[in-house]
Amino acid sequence: MTTPPTPGLVWYASYGANMSADRFACYVAGGVPPGGKRANPGCRDRTPPRERRALWLAGGVHFAFTSRMWGGGLALYDPALPGATPACAYLVTAEQFTDIAAQEMYKAPGADHDLAEVLRTGRIVLGAGRYETLLHRGDLDGHPILTFTSHAPSTEVQATSPSARYLGTIGSGLRATHGWSAQRTGAYLASRPGTSGTWTGEEVAALLAGS
């Protein structure tokens, strides 16, 4: 079987807080995101993404564990969940993608991962951390779509309600990317495992007033 070469450019598909351009910029250029608690060192290559696109990923988002940055549950992607997930794709270099992934794993950027395996198999597990599983979710304009999530499916973890700051950041990014109203965004986020039963659509929409 032929092993795919490591690509020069990839689409990093964000389904959580990184849909917010201001939050994502801190992973590329470094800094503390609005409302966050921790500084990101940034990528070795601080060139902004070449392009940004709205897209959908088959599967669903759920909230689990606890975020060190925001408090409350973390957004995680499970391809086995029903439905489709609205996401934001950034066209970045393979090196930038590995640096972004490292920062999500609370590791220092600088170590390059050979992405050939995830392109060949669709999934590789780098560790037991919350975002240490890389996924290949198809291709767009000739470049692979990559994202990361937990190795554990939603059925094996306890749902955890996210914080208001985190939901607000996700919601503002979702609105900017997909052009949704505050009401539609609130209804979507309030329907996810971890928010369902703890947040209403109206409460989430209120977080997004003016965004």
Whether 20 is in a domain gets the answer yes
pLDDT of amino acid 211: 63
pLDDT of amino acid 68: 87
Whether 73 is in a domain gets the answer yes
- Name which of 8-12, 105-109, 137-141 the model is least confident about: 105-109
155-203 per-position pLDDT tens digit = 999 999 999 999 999 999 999 999 999 999 999 999 999 999 999 999 9
Residue 144, pLDDT > 50, answer: yes
Question: Mean pLDDT, to the nearest integer, of 99-123?
Answer: 91
Helix (H), strand (E), coil (C) string for the chain: CCCCCCCCEEEEEECCHHHCHHHHHHHHHCECCCCCCCCECCCCCCCCCCCEEEEEEECEEEEECCCCCCCECEEEEECCCCCEEEEEEEEEEHHHHHHHHHHHCCCCCCCCCCCHHHHHHCEEECCCCCCCEEEEEEEECCEEEEEEECCCCHHHCCECCECHHHHHHHHHHHHHHHCCCHHHHHHHHHCCCCCECCECHHHHHHHCCCC
13-57 per-position pLDDT tens digit = 999 999 999 999 999 999 998 778 888 999 999 999 999 999 999
pLDDT of amino acid 2: 44
The total number of structural domains in the chain stands at 1
Question: Mean pLDDT, to the nearest integer, of 140-158?
Answer: 96
Residue 179, both tokens: 């052009």
Pairing of strands 9-14, 143-149: parallel
Long-range contacts of residues 116-121, Cβ cutoff 8 Å, at least 24 apart: 116/3, 116/4, 116/5, 116/6, 118/146, 119/4, 119/7, 119/144, 120/1, 120/3, 120/4
Query: Could you count the other beta carbons within 10 Å of the beta carbon of residue 171?
Result: 24
pLDDT of amino acid 20: 95
pLDDT of amino acid 4: 57
Handedness of CA 98, 153, 16, 89 (dihedral sign): positive
Whether 29 is in a domain gets the answer yes
CATH of the domain at 52: 3.10.490
Whether 195 is in a domain gets the answer no
- Name which of 56-60, 63-67, 126-130 the model is least confident about: 126-130
Q: What percent of the chain has pLDDT over 70?
A: 96
Whether 178 is in a domain gets the answer no
Range of the domain at 132: 9-160
Whether 170 is in a domain gets the answer no
Whether 174 is in a domain gets the answer no
112-131 per-position pLDDT tens digit = 778 999 999 999 999 888 89
Would you say 183 and 171 are in contact if contact means Cβ atoms under 8 Å apart? no
Alpha-carbon span 199 to 74, nearest angstrom: 15
CA distances from 3 to 116, 119, 126 (A): 6, 9, 19
pLDDT of amino acid 1: 41
